[in-house]
Structure 1
Amino acid sequence: MPLVLRSSPLSPFGRKVKLALDHLGLADRVIVETADTMDAGDILREQNPLGKIPALVLDDGSVVYDSRVIVEYLDMEAGGNKIIPAEPRARIAVLTLQALADGVLDALILQRYEAMFRPEDRREPRWLDHQGGKVARAMARLEAEPPTLDIHVGTLALACALGYQDIRFDGAWRADHPRLVAWLDGFIGLMPAAWQRTSPA
């Protein structure tokens, strides 16, 4: 029985899982189903009480969430030490990079929600600045020292964070981050077909 990934085409966290599936050779074991986080009638809220995506429904009906847990599950299914190193120091470094990139995405999504759900005259500039500061500081840190071109959960998350900014924020990040632009080009070159397949554009 195949596993079921509940996600949406535009979800950067879902994209991270899809890229991991492709890299690990597990994509043929998973059916991707679109979930609507805003629909109270979507079964997603039963699968994940938080109503968030992605969620991975296993063959016994149990559900794994969020993306960080899902990619760890997939790494174990693939035999381990594939996208999450077993060596403790390397593991912590990779997971920390994933946390940084996921944090960028969290801040970007909160900025987007502010624009989506509040009329312009009711948006909170301090809140937007607060989230924007997280993104700016993280991007500056990553620009100063881009990661190596290896495929693991940290670089998968970073690629998805940069790709999301291209899709939702018109690629404005590119002007001030030439080293990250070059890094993303190099990373996409490692898995061009998977990147194209998972692109919502």
Structure 2
Amino acid sequence: MSEFFKPDPDAVEILRRESCFSGFYRLERLHLRHRQFSGEMGPLLSRELFVRHDAVCVLPYDPQRDEVVLIEQFRVGSMGKCSNPWLLELVAGLIDKDEEPDQVARREAVEEAGLVLGELWPISRYFPSPGGSDELVHLYVGRCNSEGAGGIHGLAEEGEDIRVHVLPFEEALQAVKDGRINNAASIIALQWLALNRTEVCGLWL
């Protein structure tokens, strides 16, 4: 069995930290060295770090109807990289207040989709881009009643313009296969539900 690296307390040495930009997000430049697999300290490295609040993403799922609720909104980061920058996504938000991840999931479901969630099923916590960002994503499936879900939602003061879609689960999964759903949290959550739907429905029905 392979043995994975186990860092000691001195495995990373940060020599200097610069603030390059500070707004809603921050950009820092770190000058550091880290221990290499040989056991020796490596060379001095300079790395920019995008400092973000941690995020919460939740896939609302109605086990009675076998439907998921997804949201559609414009995403500036996808411009020029795909033909349509209006993406199908999960309900999501940043932990930028004194809140627990499950509280953020429930609040954002109301704000972005008009949904009151029941039980939350934690899927995973993961780093979407650890090579240059410190963001950690808390990912859930949330039980919901999808009957009547739809419409335009979002907070006007935040410039949000969000359209709600209710899809049969198999249709949403096909959208992953077709590439129509092309963002990490949605792909991970829908594939996880494909693998675990029997167990989820067994407890939620």
- TM bracket (short chain): under 0.3
| More RCO (CA 8 Å, sep 6+) | 1
Q: TM-score, normalised by structure 2?
A: 0.24
Higher Cα Rg, which structure: 2
> How does the TM-score come out when normalised to structure 1?
0.24
Higher helix share: 1
Which structure features the higher share of strand residues? 2
